[in-house]
Amino acid sequence: MERVPFLRSKHLNSHFGIFMRLDNQRRLVLAAAAAGLSLPQQPAFAQELSSKRVTWGPFKGMSDAELARLDELSKAPNIGAMLTGSSGVRVIDLVLGDGPEPGAGQRVYAHYKIWADGFRSGPVADYSFQENRPYSWVLGTPTDRIPNGIDAGIMGMREGGWRRLVVPNAFDAGIRRINYGPTGRYVGAKAPYVLRPGATAFVDVILVDGGSGRCDSILRPAGMSEKDANKRRSLLCEYAEQVY
């Protein structure tokens, strides 16, 4: 399988979402180069950005047309790598992390966004940013929000990495429209489907804590009850109450 080349991450930061601070020497978007796109070494910033323009991470400096091309390329079956025994899960690395690589049984923290129609296309089925903290689970133990195919697709990532996943039949029960209220996240029993049962999910995922403990120390401090820990917020685990 053809792989989309990757960048190496240096640090995580925030600005209405997730940024990747990259070395100036590595700022060229190699994934776009694989698609036959040419990018300037020092991207100029547009005066006006469209609603889909992304100004962070490996997409920084790309035009709307280049972003659309990369999105289409990400859906092509010959791009990325197919996971062995994963029922068709395809992995595309956009940023290769330089932190710890977690194994099964380790707690991880990640930000993710799931689309139903393609990368940055159509309605968003689920995302972690709304909660002002990365989603946490034990790698190798799927949850209702991170089912088996997505969990398997995160194996092999290193902290700071950014990966795209194409996951067939991702959610057996589908994803109904998610709402947030005073008590937090909830889904109405009759809410419409955003991702139909058995549909393919398109997932962007950034591994914020893969073993360094940066999130554990802030979001799950020793001696704190699980109930109180779940109330803590830190978008990127740089300091407590880091919200946007």
pLDDT tens figures, 143-190: 989 998 999 999 999 999 989 999 998 888 778 777 766 767 767 777
User: Where are the extended beta strands (E) located within the chain?
Assistant: 7-8, 11-14, 18-21, 81-82, 90-96, 107-115, 124-127, 135-138, 162-167, 175-176, 178-181, 184-187, 193-195, 201-209
pLDDT at 163: 92
Burial category of 151 from C-beta neighbours within 10 Å (exposed 0-12, middle 13-18, buried 19 and up): buried
Please determine, for residue 16, whether its predicted confidence score (pLDDT) is greater than 70. Answer: no
Please determine, for residue 194, whether its predicted confidence score (pLDDT) is greater than 90. Answer: no
Please determine, for residue 122, whether its predicted confidence score (pLDDT) is greater than 60. Answer: yes
**Domain enclosing residue 94, as ranges:** 7-42+51-229
Domain membership of residue 238 (yes or no) is no
Domain membership of residue 96 (yes or no) is yes
Please determine, for residue 17, whether its predicted confidence score (pLDDT) is greater than 80. Answer: no
pLDDT at 218: 95
Side-chain half-sphere of 160: how many Cα atoms within 13 Å? 18
Domain membership of residue 36 (yes or no) is yes
pLDDT at 165: 93
Mean per-residue pLDDT over the chain, rounded: 75
**Is residue 26 a contact partner of residue 7, using CB atoms and an 8 Å limit?**
yes
The total of structural domains in the chain comes to 1
Percentage of the chain modeled with pLDDT above 90 = 31
Amino acid letter, 211: G
10: confidence class by pLDDT, cuts 50, 70, 90: very low
Model confidence pLDDT, tens digit, residues 90-104: 999 888 888 999 999
pLDDT at 14: 33
220: confidence class by pLDDT, cuts 50, 70, 90: very high
| Whole-number Å distance between alpha carbons of 30 and 5 | 5
- Domain containing residue 123: CATH number: 3.10.50.40
Domain membership of residue 1 (yes or no) is no
Q: What is the mean pLDDT of residues 32-41?
A: 36
* Token representation of residue 239: 């300091």
- Residues in Cβ contact with 131 at an 8 Å cutoff, skipping those fewer than 6 apart: 180, 184, 185, 233
Q: What is the mean pLDDT of residues 33-41?
A: 36
Note the pTM of the prediction, 2 decimals.
0.77
pLDDT at 13: 37
Query: Of the given ranges (53-62, 185-194, 232-241), which has the lowest mean pLDDT?
Result: 53-62
pLDDT at 105: 97
Please determine, for residue 34, whether its predicted confidence score (pLDDT) is greater than 60. Answer: no
- Who wins on pLDDT, 214 or 120? 214
- DSSP helix/strand/coil, 186: strand
| Whole-number Å distance between alpha carbons of 64 and 66 | 5
